[in-house]
Structure 1
Amino acid sequence: MNLFYNPQGVGDVAFLQIEPVEGNLEYQQHGDVISITKDGRIVGFNFFNVNDIDFNGNGHIKLNESIIKGLQQKIDDAQINYKLDTDLSPSFVVGYVIEKEKHPNADKLSIVKVDVGDDTLQIVCGAPNIDKAQKVVVAKVGAVMPSGMVIKNAELRGVASSGMICSMKELNLPDAPQEKGIMVLSNDYEIGAPFFKE
């Protein structure tokens, strides 16, 4: 779930993306709230007149309980039957590669199982330096990369992938090497901990 708010560029309008989708969307206005649906399911909302909610920022807004509560109140006031269910855990976490195997349909891809603390994710990775027993930075599904790309559940050459193992360049870190390869962390990083500190 991603929230965008740019009062200088767009005005007092917030866009809440619940599910990244493409194709034809349907819009229905309920007062100050527009529900956005795809194939009958709600995938997002536009909220007007939201300056009573403290977004504490501009652009891509980090969700917190107060913001979710404020947006839910506007959904309820618009008499839309929808409950916001959001994961407020960090999007970029320290993972540990438990196992690595060759992708059956692609020479340059690996299938890895990564422990991210509260879950084990299967991720298809194309980095040449990925290996078992590494600590790495994992962008979980729903994470917004510095480039603006949203991480989604995907299928790469017939194999499911949930998340992305990141390079320094993809994370827009200073002095990132230009050659391809994921960022390998030292052992003092804690599995499941947020990679970016508040």
Structure 2
Amino acid sequence: MMIVSYNPQQIGDTLVIVLGPDNGKQSYKRVDDVTQIIDAAGNVIGYNIFNVSNVLPEVKNENGQVQLTEPQIATLNQLIVDAGFKAELPVHVPSKFMVGYVKSMKEHPKSSHLHITETEVENGETLQIVSGSPNMQEGIKVVVAEVGAMMPSGLIIWPSKLKDVESNGMICSGRELKIPNAPDQPGAMILPDSYEVGKPFDFKKAQTLFNE
């Protein structure tokens, strides 16, 4: 996985690259404008690239999550290598927002409003996802933010437990995905039958879903 973000108003001219979850204690090593972040187990979980506009001037047009091109990733990997680190940035990063299908649903044993779903995503894989959507039901197509997704709000989706039940992903509302004209209320965004289960969710196509 790789999540890249740029927020100059809050942290300056710094590209934040997340490669893994924050599992507690971290260590840092900075060489020139590159800081490598390592977790307690010795895994590289990210990089901070300072003064990034010196090498990627086009990043100044970004604010929030950044989708890097292959040439941009190659530039950053060379910068990382020149700083004495091993290149860690993957060239191809699959989408973490998928069209899912709720195969089954049952009520959470410890909550009156949570539901435990078995939701199919890509390649026939089924995820257990706990959802609080009031309109949750079996047999609907939904948008699934898989583990490693960054929501438009900046929230990163990691494996979690909701009242002792494991949840691996999030079934999203149109409001949470910031789809234009989506209702400003909770509830899973139910997709039309034309959407194919297991395919990446097309945000541009979805802009017409709530047109009046």
One-letter amino acid of the structure 2 residue matched with residue 52 of structure 1: V
> What TM-score comes out, normalization by structure 1 length?
0.85
- The CA distance in 2 between the partners of 1:123 and 1:55, in whole Å, is 37
Residues 92-131 of structure 1 correspond to what in structure 2 (within 5 A)?
92-118=97-123, 119-131=125-137
Q: Determine if the alignment matches structure 1 residue 43 to structure 2 residue 45.
A: yes
- The CA distance in 1 between the partners of 2:10 and 2:158, in whole Å, is 27
3-state SS of 1:185 partner: coil
The equivalent of 2:180 in structure 1 is 174
3-state SS of 2:80 partner: helix
- The CA distance in 1 between the partners of 2:13 and 2:200, in whole Å, is 31
Structure 1 residues 184 and 21, CA, compared in 2 at 3 Å: closer, same or farther?
same
Unaligned runs of 5+ in 1: none
Q: Name the structure where strand makes up a greater proportion of residues.
A: 1
The equivalent of 1:52 in structure 2 is 55
Query: How many positions carry a matched residue from both structures?
Result: 198
3-state SS of 2:142 partner: strand
User: Percent identical across equivalent pairs?
Assistant: 42
Query: Is contact 1:64–1:88 with CA below 8 Å preserved after alignment?
Result: no
3-state SS of 1:197 partner: helix
Report the RMSD for the aligned CA atoms in angstroms. 2.5
Structure 1 residues 8 and 23, CA, compared in 2 at 3 Å: closer, same or farther?
same
Residues 22-41 of structure 1 correspond to what in structure 2 (within 5 A)?
24-39=25-40, 40-41=42-43
Q: Name the structure where helix makes up a greater proportion of residues.
A: 2
One-letter amino acid of the structure 2 residue matched with residue 30 of structure 1: V
Deviation, 1:20, is: 4.0
- The CA distance in 2 between the partners of 1:122 and 1:66, in whole Å, is 36
Unaligned runs of 5+ in 2: 206-212
- The CA distance in 2 between the partners of 1:54 and 1:64, in whole Å, is 13
